Structure 1
Amino acid sequence: MNDLNNVYQSTQVDYEDDGGEEMELATPGKRIAAYLINYLISLVAAVPLIIGFYQMYKSYVISAQAGASAPDFSGASMGMIGLGSLLVLAYYIVQAVLMSKNGQSMGKRIMKIKVVDEDGDNPGFVKVVLMREVVPNLVLAFVGMIPFLGPIAQIGFWVACLVMLFLVDRDRQTLQDMIAKTYVVDAE
């Protein structure tokens, strides 16, 4: 009977928060949903930027077909790029403040999960923003520039993180969590 009990892995982190209660690890579904919500919000913020670049591209193609030496970029396309850039910048600033303040991005807040450090406390700006978000994305950006290997490494990184979400015996820590020594738990 003891062998059967050892097979079960708890989804609770082995430290206690201030209230003396164990914190439950966030489910993979909640973490994936939070990521997708954040991605959708960032995509909406980038819509004017995308439209502006599309308008510039269209102007370039029209001028090239007409034989003009330089494309005539309209103020509208430049305005859309400016607006989109401001919206994307504002999105990332808001996300950084929210993550620093309470360990929750917009998506994590909606899904009622949060990032905590090894003691169950708020990890703060360095761990939650720099170590979990900026460092891995900078590494992926540089690796992505390596011909042929870059895209494969990037896909491998995200697949590895996806698989790690389901490893209860590793406390569902993704590579970013391991770098920052953080956990994602239910915030309820």
Structure 2
Amino acid sequence: MTQVNPYQAPVASLELGVEESGELATRGQRFKAVLVDLLTFVGCGLIAGIGVPLQKNGSTMAGTLFVSLAVLAGVAILIYNLVLMSRNGQTIGKRSIGIRIVRQNGDDCGALRIIFMRALPIALLAGLANIVTHTQGAGQLVNLIDVLLIFRASHLCLHDNIADTMVVVA
């Protein structure tokens, strides 16, 4: 019979929970997913970019149409990404690559955790760095440090650590 010491420090497992949730996504898979997500929004910017010169050259109706379509497309993509994130922890890019965001214990991760625990803290930290230093570079450095932490053995970025999330193969 083993006696339990009531004054003993608690013991916690520091494993990432990969066994419960599947294989961790590779750095390359995560990078490709981010590129796909960026390209979807860049497409909206290109559409708007066509409309702005049209407005300046007198074709205000055509220019307004292009800009309006770009804004509507951007909003539609944003809403679709939010729906995908709330259903299965994916964006358009993550879905196309076959990866998803889960909690480090393997549980599903809702859209609110992704937005308020993964994205918002890094954005606030980058914005604060810009304000304190009066430069854009400080915020970009925060974002760079966030993503470069993926090269640790755990393959987790800073936003993953903050939100208790990881990206796995779907």
User: For residues 149 and 186 of structure 1, what CA distance do their matches in structure 2 show?
Assistant: 40
1:32 is aligned to 2:31: yes
SS at match of 2:151: coil
1:111 alignment counterpart: 97
User: For residues 148 and 52 of structure 1, what CA distance do their matches in structure 2 show?
Assistant: 36
User: For residues 104 and 153 of structure 1, what CA distance do their matches in structure 2 show?
Assistant: 29
Please point out which of 43, 66, 69 is paired with 1:80.
Answer: 66
Contact 1:116 1:122 in 2 (8 A): yes
SS at match of 2:17: strand
| TM-score, normalised relative to structure 2 | 0.78
2:16 alignment counterpart: 13
Change (3 A) 1:118 1:14: closer
Change (3 A) 1:139 1:15: same
1:120 is aligned to 2:119: no
Once the two structures are TM-superposed, the CA of residue 86 in structure 1 deviates from its matched residue by 0.4
Percent identity reads 30
Contact 1:96 1:129 in 2 (8 A): no
Query: Structure 2: where are the runs of 5+ without partners?
Result: 1-14
Once the two structures are TM-superposed, the CA of residue 134 in structure 1 deviates from its matched residue by 4.3
**1:185 is aligned with what amino acid?**
V
Change (3 A) 1:75 1:34: same
SS at match of 1:114: strand
User: For residues 50 and 80 of structure 2, what CA distance do their matches in structure 1 show?
Assistant: 23
Q: Deviations over 1:13-60 (max 9, x none)?
A: 33542xxxx62221111111110111011111332222223334x34x
1:150 alignment counterpart: 135
Note the aligned Cα RMSD (angstroms): 2.5
Please point out which of 133, 152, 160 is paired with 1:177.
Answer: 160
Change (3 A) 1:117 1:23: same
User: For residues 145 and 72 of structure 2, what CA distance do their matches in structure 1 show?
Assistant: 33
Query: Structure 1: where are the runs of 5+ without partners?
Result: 1-11, 60-71
SS at match of 2:16: strand
Once the two structures are TM-superposed, the CA of residue 146 in structure 1 deviates from its matched residue by 3.6
SS at match of 1:43: helix
SS at match of 1:24: coil
**1:164 is aligned with what amino acid?**
L
**2:94 is aligned with what amino acid?**
K
SS at match of 1:13: coil
2:40 alignment counterpart: 41
User: For residues 19 and 44 of structure 2, what CA distance do their matches in structure 1 show?
Assistant: 38
Contact 2:125 2:139 in 1 (8 A): no
Aligned residue pairs, count:
156
Contact 1:13 1:25 in 2 (8 A): no
1:52 alignment counterpart: 51
Once the two structures are TM-superposed, the CA of residue 156 in structure 1 deviates from its matched residue by 1.0
